[in-house]
Amino acid sequence: MNSLFMNLARIVFLRGGPQNLPGSWLLTIVLLMVYLVQIFMHGQQLEDVNATTKSLLSISLQILVLTGLLYWRRHMERFMQTLSAFVGVGIVFNAITWVLLLQSGPASSLLALTWFGVFIWSLFVDAHIYRNSLSVSLSSGMLISVLTLAANYLLIDSLFSA
């Protein structure tokens, strides 16, 4: 277990990749469950009744994109570890943003700047994961990350805007 946390920390700090995680369906499913519980708790805190549904849609889109790209690059054997990496770092970044959310007060510009920094950092981590799993450049990984984020935003916005 300690090894899992160390490997996730290495990924978050761009020092390791998904290939360092064990290729285990059990690990992937446990990480997904922890992620969903975490999202449910965030939704409760924010009083967003659709948080879990939005997260399931987001995860589904991520899995679809990941599957398509790994299939296209002929690296499907990397799927389990890559999905574990995405979900594991998602848990880490959700915990960080949750702490920031708890600190939020009336119009704190330092807090907003910190949140933006964490957002940019998470984009770089996602790009790093794509770079390692697809064997592409970091700029290609960043392009995939940004396009996936944009598609995710458009999907959620089109389904849940009132």
Q: How far apart are CA 90 and CA 37, in angstroms?
A: 12
Integer angstrom CA distances of residue 155 from 55, 60, 66, 128, 149:
11, 11, 17, 24, 10
Per-residue pLDDT, 106: 67
Q: How far apart are CA 146 and CA 140, in angstroms?
A: 10
Per-residue pLDDT, 89: 97
CB 62 within 8 A of CB 149: no
Q: Which of 129, 44, 50, 51 is nearest to 90 (CA)?
A: 129
Per-residue pLDDT, 132: 97
Per-residue pLDDT, 73: 96
| Segments of the chain with pLDDT less than 70 | 1, 104-107, 162
Q: What is the pTM of this model?
A: 0.92
Per-residue pLDDT, 109: 80
Q: How far apart are CA 74 and CA 40, in angstroms?
A: 35
CB 11 within 8 A of CB 88: yes
Q: How far apart are CA 53 and CA 51, in angstroms?
A: 6
